[in-house]
Amino acid sequence: MAHSTLSQVSLAVPTGNDISPRRSVFKRNIINFGNKPWASNLSFDLKSRNAQKSNPYIVCMSVQQASKSKVGVLPSELETAKEPPLNLFKPKEPYTATIVSVERLVGPKAPGETCHIVIDHGGNVPYWEGQSYGVIPPGENPKKPGSPHNVRLYSIASTRYGDSFDGKTASLCVRRAVYYDPETGKEDPSKNGICSNFLCNSKPGDKVQITGPSGKIMLLPEDNPNANHIMIATGTGVAPFRGYLRRMFMEDVTFKFRGLAWLFLGVANSDSLLYDDEFTKYVEDYPDQFRYDRALSREQKNKSGGKMYVQDKIEEYSDEIFKLLDEGAHIYFCGLRGMMPGIQETLKRVAEQRGENWDEKLSQLKKNKQWHVEVY
């Protein structure tokens, strides 16, 4: 149902001392939703002068649909395909999609900026949860004059139905890559990330060249709805897991999830948390099926007094994690490449303490297709 004006933003925010939900925010001046079908789901008066005076930030739209009653989705054909779509559009012939919205996801104290970007592909570039789109930023490749830029891959942060549940959009979670000169400490725009800045600076209606979808390693296995899924993310690596969780807990789809989903998310501080309201709502609505642990490196300490990283959380819950893996759970890792050595060292140490050989265990997990890694 489309509305010509956006009057309200809606959000269910749980309460509770142990969860301490934080609202994702974005600056008012980058919003321009236009006449979009999901604008009607929103409750917070954007036109309120009092709100403008008292709060320069407003609630992030990405959580507006989180509620226990499942959301209807279309088109139904997206459920019936036996194989995931792959490489429908290639770099030499990309699809021209349209930016729907760009939202700042993080609070003012977050180091850096991360944006939630909704792209309208018109239903022409379907994908499955866990896949990626390629984005070709405008302009020419400085290393190959006359040629377009290389493709940058981004994990898709929505389900196959998109944030508007109509199968026509995809969402990306993008951190703006900014380069600071180590000597002067000043930003050097000439060395900033070309694609991330293009996406974060884009406005509704702007065109974007996309390729894909690509990737099979992070597809959510749905053959066993009772299976358990352990998801470990750093920063924007949470993108595919947002898609998984919306499919598990938000949408009314043929996949009827009955297992346990457990998300570990590592970021710098509370203001850097991504989609925290959505995840917190699932904890409230599905306490027996969803666990959510945050590692805030600049706010929490590990047992040794050092910074808290995701591997410290893994170690904290290692007995449960290893038991779940022994019972056939899937484990996924997504984020910066640098996250894996520390995690692997922790898992190896824990395995040895348990009298197990980690290399053998890892080999078996891979053989059983329980081990899924996507780092960049």
Distance CA 115, CA 102 (A): 6
- 132 marked as binding residue: no
- Up-side HSE of residue 130: CA atoms within 13 Å toward CB? 18
- Up-side HSE of residue 86: CA atoms within 13 Å toward CB? 7
- 291 marked as binding residue: no
Q: Which residues are catalytic?
A: 154-155, 334, 374, 376
Distance CA 360, CA 186 (A): 48
Name the DSSP letter for residue 71: B
Strands (E), 144-228: 152-155, 169-175, 207-214
CA distances from 267 to 210, 264, 284, 307 (A): 28, 10, 22, 11
Asked whether 206 and 213 are in contact (CB, 8 A), the reply is no
Question: To which H or E segment does residue 58 belong?
Answer: strand 57-59
- 307 marked as binding residue: yes
Asked whether 331 and 361 are in contact (CB, 8 A), the reply is no
DSSP-derived 3-state class of residue 34: coil
CA distances from 234 to 33, 87, 221, 240, 315 (A): 29, 27, 22, 12, 16
Work out the widest C-alpha separation in the chain, in whole angstroms. Answer: 63
- 297 marked as binding residue: yes
- 313 marked as binding residue: no
- 362 marked as binding residue: no
Distance CA 134, CA 137 (A): 10
Phi/psi at 175 (nearest 5 deg)? -95, 130
- 298 marked as binding residue: yes
- 363 marked as binding residue: no
Distance CA 119, CA 111 (A): 25
- 236 marked as binding residue: yes
CB atoms within 10 A of CB 374: 18
Question: To which H or E segment does residue 100 belong?
Answer: strand 95-104
Distance CA 116, CA 100 (A): 11
Question: Binding site membership for NADP(+): which residues?
Answer: 155, 175, 236, 297-298, 307, 335-336, 374
